[in-house]
Structure 1
Amino acid sequence: MLALILATSAVEALGATFNYSQPDIDSGKALQDLSRIAKENALKRLSDSSSGCTGENVRVREERIAYTKAVECLIETPDVYQNISGAKSMFDSFGLLHYYQTPYIHNSAYFLLWHRAFVWIFEEKLRTVCGYTGPFPYWEWGLDAGGVEQSPLFDGSPTSMGGNGEKVNRSQGLFPGGTGGGCVKEGPFSNYIVNLGPLTASDPLAHNPRCLKRDLNTEICRSSASLKNTTEVMLESPNIELFQANLQGDFRYPESRKWGLSVHGGGHFIVAGDPGGDFYFSNIAGTITMMNRPPSRNGTLDDVMDLEPLGGAYTLGEMLDTVGGSPFCFVYE
């Protein structure tokens, strides 16, 4: 899911001309090269940084085992929304923040930069509240398009994010179901209690304790979030407006219909299960909400995003650079 932010870094390549072969696009070789270019461009800007970001303190985003322990710490930390009965932890508070702002942060100018700030604030809480010292991980979905169930992220081992949900037989939905659907029984987060949701409940913010569910879906990963899809979205989006539309699957733009559920939607539905397991899944509702509202004006660099009570208020301009001129000091590996 966090590979969305890797794509954000690569947006610097928009407008440039690249001549990758189709086999290189399909295999991920082109994406690897785009990621290298994005990192090099970020590091070149370090000398111009005004925020204290240097080559010595810049964080490199790689996966580390300690991350799961830090998340478990947030799950044990009290929530910051005192008036919501269903929220029991700071982890729940992040879901609530996303839930409340969903109507404004999808299919809009806020989409990429709001989520960049959101993930950064989450990382800062891992560090300041839970003492986490490692880099922040992201998931490149396309690496698992050959079989999500075999991914080291979901194999149920102590170093994973927990296993698949137990197999559940159910009727066909809008698209083919995955290989699980029931409660997660193996690995980290197998004992995690989901407190909020689902969104279809009469009161989605009420306390509704239940197990964490997952329904890993390789077919969705292959058809919507492959290395090929991620790379083509970057290469075939001549401006930021179309890049965001193609990334989100905004069907108001005919071009975006090429990539199925989109790499963004596909990233969510690869894991599927109970949306309350990670209230972040509520962003799917944002697409429907925004498509039923009149178009808003174009965003500007001075527009303000308010991430209280977990974070502060930031302008879009402050969120643009990950190594200077903003609170950030990181690159992707």
Structure 2
Amino acid sequence: MRLYSMVATMASMAQVALSTPCVGNSSGIPKPLEFKELESRYQANIRASLGLDGCTEKTIRIRKSWDDIDAAARADYVRAVKCLAAKPATVDKTLAPGAVNRLDDFTYIHINQTNIVHISGSFLSWHRIFVWQMEEALRNECGYKGTIPYWDQARFSQYPTNSKVFDNSSFGGDGEYLPNDHGPYNITIPGLAVNMSIVRPAGAGGGCVQDGPFANFQISLGPTDRPFIDPTNKFGYEPNPRCLKRNFDYPSSTDFMTWENAIKIVGASDFVTFYWNMENTWHVKSHQFLGKDGLDLFTSPNDPIFYLLHSQIDRLWAIWQGQNLEERTFAITGNRTFFGIPLDTAPNVPPSNATIEDIMDLGHGYRPKIKDGMPMTYSGRCYMYE
């Protein structure tokens, strides 16, 4: 079917990488002038707009690249993530029996909304609020003073593990290489009214993360990336304690997450072009590079890198919006469900386009409209990217 071919193309099923690049520029590939100019225009326009809804030069938070914050700030972020992992889950256990800690609360919310907030009109807005909620939890519950940094993929596209994101004091590297469990994988997406299967590419690992603060880090919910749907545990809500796994797919970085593609994304002349450039060459490939838990469509927040990954997606959107805040802040495209496919709970509902007035669900009774997640400097948020 046509939808299957679209998803399969996005997944780049034929790409296989079993060797790890080990050399390269540790400071990264220099930022091109064209990207700098687009970024500078965004920053200038955001600063010129401050003063709305209590967001000022004094109160605005600055999100930076993980590679540009100092060692103490990186260590404090890791500490705060582990602090949330040590706090008990608050989600109703009748809804998610496997939820153990506060990180699982976020994973549950993501699982519960996956087929509505991916490849849809709410994707960017929903995830902007979701990442902000994690930032607030880190600050308010665990004493973290900073923001959620972003994973600056283009800077290290040719040698991705040279980024400090993957060093032993940050998030660690690939999973253990498993000769019989590194892919490719055939998986079936649960919760849709049609039977949709896609292929995950083979990678360079497959097993438990072996180094850094998240070596053998225990997760519980999921996976949903399985060849067949289990009707007794369709979305992976049941307890399943196991280690965090990765399966790096290097072509996803070297061939896609480049400065050239970053410029195409933020320099797009219209929102539809921006959205599909971002989705096909960046969002999917970012998850695909991580593999295993970080690639699982539903439970990808199990990998703590998820929030840096989505801070970067949010940054690309912010830079695009910031070229003309008046015309672009509330631009929208897309259906109300994943590719417009009906959910299995409402199989006869025809596809329909999302609007900025649509209600989203971000858990714990919080139901903002899509338009509430579109601005960066009002509607309860106050931040920008440098």
d(CA) in 2 for partners of 1:238 and 1:298? 21
Is 1:269 matched up with 2:288? Answer: yes
User: How far 1:179 moved relative to its partner?
Assistant: 2.4
Distance of aligned partners of 1:313 and 1:242 in 2 relative to their CA distance in 1, 3 Å threshold: same
Deviation at 1:320, TM superposition (A): 2.3
Q: Which segment drifts farther, 144-153 or 133-142?
A: 144-153
Q: Residues 187 and 179 of structure 1: is their aligned pair in 2 closer, same or farther, counting only changes over 3 Å? A: same
Segments of structure 2 that go 5 or more residues without pairing to the other structure are: 1-28, 67-72, 185-198, 311-334, 343-349
Partner of 1:163: 173
Cα distance in 2 for partners of 1:247, 1:238 equals: 13
Question: Structure 1-normalised TM-score?
Answer: 0.78
Deviations 1:258-317 (A, max 9, x none): xxxx21100101111233563488x9xx999435344313413x32223121x7232222
Distance 1:287 1:163 in 2: 36
Greater CA drift, 186-195 or 168-177: 168-177
Letter in 2 for 1:61: R
Partner of 2:369: 315
Give the whole-Å Cα distance in 2 for the aligned partners of 1:113 and 1:277.
18
For residue 68 of structure 1, the aligned residue among 60, 78, 95 is 78
Residues of 2 paired with 1:295 and 1:141: CA distance? 34
| Structure 2 Cα separation of the partners of residues 28 and 269 of structure 1 | 25
Q: Distance in 2 between matches of 1:164 and 1:32?
A: 31
Q: 1:34 to 1:267 in 2, by over 3 A?
A: same
What is the SS of the residue equivalent to 1:224?
coil
Matched, 1:299 2:337: no
Secondary structure of the corresponding residue to residue 304 of structure 1: coil
Distance 2:115 2:355 in 1: 15
C-alpha RMSD over aligned residues: 2.7
**Residue 202 of structure 2 corresponds to residue 177 of structure 1:** yes
- Aligned residue for 1:80, secondary structure, equals coil
Contact 1:162 1:189 in 2 (8 A): yes
Kept in 2: contact 1:123–1:136 (CA 8 A):
yes
SS state at 2:113 partner: helix
Report how many residues are paired: 286
Q: Conserved in 2, the CA contact under 8 Å of 1:107 and 1:245?
A: no
Q: In structure 2, what is the Cα distance between the partners aligned to 1:100 and 1:290?
A: 17
Displacement of 1:76 in angstroms is 1.0
Question: CA shift at 1:85, angstroms?
Answer: 1.3
Partner of 2:383: 330
Letter in 2 for 1:35: E
2:214 counterpart of 1:189: yes
Distance 1:320 1:172, change over 3 A: closer
Q: 1:303 is matched by which residue type in structure 2?
A: D
Q: Is contact 1:149-1:216 (8 Å) kept?
A: no
**1:178·1:216 contact (CA, 8 Å) conserved in 2?**
yes
Q: Name the residue aligned to 1:145.
A: 157
Structure 1 unaligned residues grouped into runs of 5+:
1-24, 250-261
TM (norm. structure 2) is 0.68
Corresponding residue of 1:244: 275
One-letter amino acid of the counterpart of residue 278, structure 1: P
Specify whether residues 54 and 277 from structure 1 end up closer, same or farther in structure 2 by C-alpha distance, changes over 3 A only. closer
1:128 paired to 2:129: no
2:48 paired residue among 44, 48, 67: 44
Conserved? CA contact 1:213–1:277, under 8 Å = no
Asked if 1:33 corresponds to 2:41, the answer is no
For the residue of structure 1 that corresponds to 2:46, the secondary structure is helix
Give the 3-state SS of the residue equivalent to 1:81 in structure 2. coil
Following the alignment from structure 1 to structure 2, what is the Cα–Cα distance between the partners of residues 277 and 320? Answer: 23
Paired with 1:231 and 1:185, the residues of 2 have a C-alpha distance of: 35
Question: How far apart are the structure 2 equivalents of 1:296 and 1:288?
Answer: 8
Q: 1:133: how far off?
A: 0.7
Aligned-pair identity in percent equals 32
